[in-house]
Structure formats: C-alpha cells, structure tokens
Structure 1
Amino acid sequence: MTVNIERPELLGAEILENEVLSASRAPALPRIVGVGTATSATSYSQQEVLDAFGITDPKIRSVFANSAIERRYLTLPAQDDEGNRHPEPQGDLLDKHKALAIDMGAEALQACLKRAGAELSDLRHLCCVTSTGFLTPGLSALLIRELGIDRHCSRSDIVGMGCNAGLNALGVVSGWSAAHPGELAVVLCSEACSAAYAMDSTMRTAVVNSLFGDGAGAIALIAGGEDDPSAVTEGPRILKFASCIIPEAVDAMRYDWDRTQGRFSFFLDPQIPYVVGAHAEITVDRLLQGTGLRRSDIKHWLVHSGGKKVIDAVTVNLGLPRHDLRHTVGVLRDYGNVSSGSFLFSYERLLDEQVTQPGEYGVLMTMGPGSTIETALVQW
C-alpha cells in the first residue's frame, strides 16, 4: 500500500480499507462521540485508608506513601461500635459489587450520553466490562432494567479480563459499530474495586490495597461512511488495534480464590511493571506498522493508570516525555487504579483540555492479566 503523506487525514481510512475490505468503497469508521465517568461516594487519602484499618507496619505504610496516589474512591466495611472494620464475607462483597457497579455504571453511562448529545432511547448496543465480581444476568441486563433502556437494545458483557478489558471491549464494539452505521453503541467499564478489597497483614495484600479505587467510565461510538452526508464528523476515528499477550507472565497478575480467607483476592507480581514496560515498544510498533507513522507522530497518549512503576516503565521504554502521560499520572493521583475504565478518565481529561486538532493521532493503551497489552490508534 502507498501511504498518502500529502493528505494525512486519509491515512486511517486507507489503512482500514486495505486490511478489511477489498471493495473500493471506504468502510464505515467508528468515531468516539462521547465519554463519561463516575465514582463511588466517598474518597480517602492514603493516610486515611491506613488509619481506617489501623495499619502500623512501616513497610506497608511505605508502600501506600510511595504510590503516587493522593486520594481514591472506596466503599470500606462499616465500623462496629468500637470503630473497627472487619473483613466482609464473599457473599457481601458480591452484593457490594452489584450495587456499586449498577450505581456507578448508570451515572457514567448517562454522563457519556449527555456529552454525545444523545438519549437513552438512542442506545442500540451496550457492552459492559467488569472484573470485580460475577453477575448472572450480566451488568448490561441489570442496567437495561434499571434505566428503562429499550428491551431490544443488543448487549454484551466482558467479565474477568482485568484492567486491559476496556480496549478489548472497544475492539469488539467497533466491529459492531462498523456493521451498524449510524447506530449508537456504548462501552461501559464499571469496576467496584472495593468489592475485591482484602484485609490481612501480608505484603501481597498491601500492594493491592494501596492501589485500586472504585470507578466507572463509558465511551460512545457511532460509525458512518465517508460518502454518507449524515455521518458524524466530530470525535476521533478508531483506525486500528494491536494486542500482545506475554504467556510466560500469565500468573503475574491474577484474581483467584484465597482458601485461607475463604474469598477471592488479587495478586500482583512485583516484576510486572518491568515486564509490561519491556513489551510496550513491541506492541506500539505493531500498532503503527504499515501506517507510515512513527511514535513521534503521535500527539496524544492515553495510557492505563496501572501504578507509578508501570507508568514509569512505559514512559522509559517508549521514550516519551512526562508531559505526554500527564493525564495518566493525574488520574492515578486523584483516583488510583480504577481498572478497566482508567484510560477513559484520561480521555475525558484530554477532551476537557480542548487541545486536540483535526488530523492529529492518538494511542490508547491498557495492560492487564495475561499478561497483556492492548492498544488502539485513533485520529481526530
């Protein structure tokens, strides 16, 4: 394929046409037309979380203090008459997951639709992402009932994939959107990380407890053909996706059953930031392969707020200036790691800056269990 460097605005359409279609007609490219976020009700500083659980171990306190997080939204166990908080049984945690996922998800979805200039009645596909609990029927069905969404709205649920899952869902729903031009689809990531909060004195638990927070993010898509006069013209087009799984690190991030506590608990290998960082360059290069773009051509980077060491490793391995990850760093500081929806919090902040220009390119990147890296290329 010959890349038209004189008209860079045509690049995304040419890439997708070459890879997906043999016909001469340009495909219906999905555009991002709205975003919205929400959190649970109460935020805590790292010191307040330590105090709430009476943690005095200096090593654990150091983990919290050096997390680059100032505040997180959490729904902690209620205090007893003596002011103590006790571990919650798995059944109560599942109830917490359901309640928070619905509440935050409904708020984020409606904020997203408002920004897109749409109503609930316009929604034609709803894809819900969550990893902090299991629901049958899924979160999509519960939200359709809760919000009175049209019963004929198609839906999908992506459960248990972890922090990378927002981009996995975006890839799937982009395909749906391209097949249904002019129809509105939403990917909703609703993560009640408080429902995965363990309470013990181990360093494994301390690392997890210092990092995650409650949050939901939603992103709206509409596709339209280039020759369609009614096609949406605002918002970045989604051009391409690239993935990388690291099989040798499949156990480095996991959410599994803790027989001692009789509940699920999350595990993060201390080496995971460096494993992810080492594979970030490979994945981005694959994303840009065949586009004629270099990393220096990417004006906007929206990376998952996985933790300070993860962000540092990605920054170093991709050779990015700190300014390029300002939103990723800011979201980590203000919300902690809100799992699959973290990159949507960053995208919302980028839109609020109003700095993007037509023709500019952006890369979205998430990481999670597998271990996996997911990326997407977009163009304004």
Structure 2
Amino acid sequence: MAQPTGFKQEPHRLLTIPGPIEVADDVLYANAHYSVSHVGADFIPIFGDCIRMTRDVVFTQSGQPFIIAGSGTLGWDEVASNLVEPGENALVLHSGYFGDSFADCLETYGAKVTQIKAPVGEAVKMDQLKAALQEKKYKIVTVTHVDTSTGVLSDVKAVAQTVKEVSPDTLVIVDGVCSVASEEIKFDDWGLDVVLTASQKGLGTPPGLSILVFEQRKAPATSYYASWKRWLPIMKAYEAGTAAYFATPPVNLINAFYTSLKTITRSSMTVDERIKLHREASKRVKDAVSKLGLKQVATDPAFAANGMTAVYFPEGVTAPQVIPELLQQSIIVAGGLHKDIKDKYFRIGHMGVTAVDPSRGDIDKVIKGLNTTFAGLSANKQ
C-alpha cells in the first residue's frame, strides 16, 4: 500500500498519557489510506504479515496471534469465554485497577475468582502466589504486566516459573495492554499461554485493535464474536495468503498497524534494542521526578514500568494545580485512576515514538514541563 510522501501531521499538544500515545507520521498516513476490500489482493498480504510480525514482538514461534477489531478489554472476554468454563477457578494477581476489572470479566462468564491483592504501588510476591496455588487448583492465573492505574510492573517471568513449578496444568494469562513493545516479553522462553494487548500503547497505532497471542488449545467458547474457534480459520487463511470471512476487519487500522510493526520488527533497531530505549527514557523521567522531590506510586524501582510513570502530588497540591499547567505547555498527562489514591497522583506515558525517537524531543519537553510546573508551585508557596 502507499507510503508517505513528506506527510507531516499537524502541530498538536504532546500526548503523554499511558495510552493512546503519539503516533508516527507514517503510521497516521497509513491509517488514512483509501478503502480497500478486506478480501482483496492488496489487503491479504498486509494482514498476513501483521500476524507474523506480532509473533516477533513477543518472541514466539508457536503462538497464534488474533488481530480483531476491539479494545484491549476484548482480550479479557476472549480469555474468559474460551478458556474458563462456569464454575472453574481463576486466580487474579492484583496490582491495581485492572486486576479488579479482569476479575469482574471472568466472573461475568461464571468463573470462581480469587484475587491476591498487593499493596498499592507493589506487585504480588511469589511466595503469596505459591501458597495460593498449593491451596487450590486453578484453571488460569492472570497477571497484569503493567497496571496502567499504578505504573506497577509485575515479574511475569517469575510468575510463569512459579506456576509451572507448583501447578503445571494452570494456564498463565498475561494482560500486556500496557507492556507489549515497551517491556521485555519472551512468550516461548517463559512458557506463557496467553498474552493479550491492544494497538494504542507500545505498539504505536491508533486505538481499535484487540491483539492476542495464545498457545492453541481446544476449549468450548461461550461467546460468539470472541470465539477462537470462529477466528482461528480466519487468521490461518490470511497468514497462508488467502482470504476468509467471519467479521469485517478494520482494514485501514490494520494497514496502520502493519506500518508500525515494520518499524518495530524489521527496521535497523531490534525489538530488544527498542525495549532498552524505553528503559532509558523511563529512567530520565523518573530521575527528573526524583530531583523534584516527588514520590512515585511504584514503591520500588523493581516494580516500576518502562512505559509510564505514576507520580504522587506533593502535600497540599492537587490535580487542578498541575494537569492544567502542563496542558498550558502543550503537554497532556493523565489523572489518577486507582480508587484508593485517585486524587493523589498523576500519570505520565512514555511509550513508542516518544521513547525511541529522541529527535522528537518528547522526553525533553516532558521534563522541562515538570520542572517549570513544580518550580512555579514552589514559588507560589513562598
């Protein structure tokens, strides 16, 4: 499909929330492609390549990607309706808002859910997981790799290792909506069963795609649209170079996803190098926050995500004093989301082009904005 010819998106405020994120010019241009048939010769290889490149992002040879119109939330429905039958036990590792939400989804489909809730700012410890697995047989364990409400990073490798040691038949499900392409994920090496994500965060594409990779298993589905039995032949057909139909894919958005995936998996920068740049960008933001005397929600660097930073307001300072001031400097950050601390903190996203393309100056702008904003607050107190 057509490639950009000097296209530049209009000047706009810098979007540094934990998703959606800034989108590269070529990705945005690809999304504006003229309409094509979802079963046409122009689109079939694009979709097939997206499936193959999605495997490369999470380092799997055997995992089956599904790329479906929907948000990351659809991935929960896919897991709940395809892997867990009513009455079966599910264990949810809770590190923030999205643990509760995944649990709610599982219960909607009839699962019996147990949650292990970490203190705010922490991840569940492996001895807690081990004890829970020894008490009861669970069909699945879910872990939110990065909880967008807290910026807490869970050790997915350790979770998978613990589950396989204690309860090897239990499936390991990773909510990677805020981690895929910004955090290290080794699907095959770590023995993961499902990684679910979405297009609008580390994958650098506008919102609208639910993306999931799983190890193929036979299981009855209790959903129509989210049924893997219905989607599997579609994905296999497109990857084999032919078309098949169950529901219409969002062709323009998949074209944009294709463009972003080429940069992530087929450019001079490897996926591992891309993750390293996310770590470096994250360190710059977190160091700037520390120099301002601000406290992060994540209580330990080991729990802190690469793609975002959650920051407590100083004592006596509220969101209306910070977020609008950053907006005046053309920087958009997010307010709090976790119900226990909702009004006490804000969130900064630094994923995708913001993290890996220093020529844009996004990280510099965020740090300057933070310094200016909090210097002004200090001056007003004096």
Q: TM-score under structure 1 normalisation?
A: 0.29
Q: Which structure: greater strand fraction?
A: 1
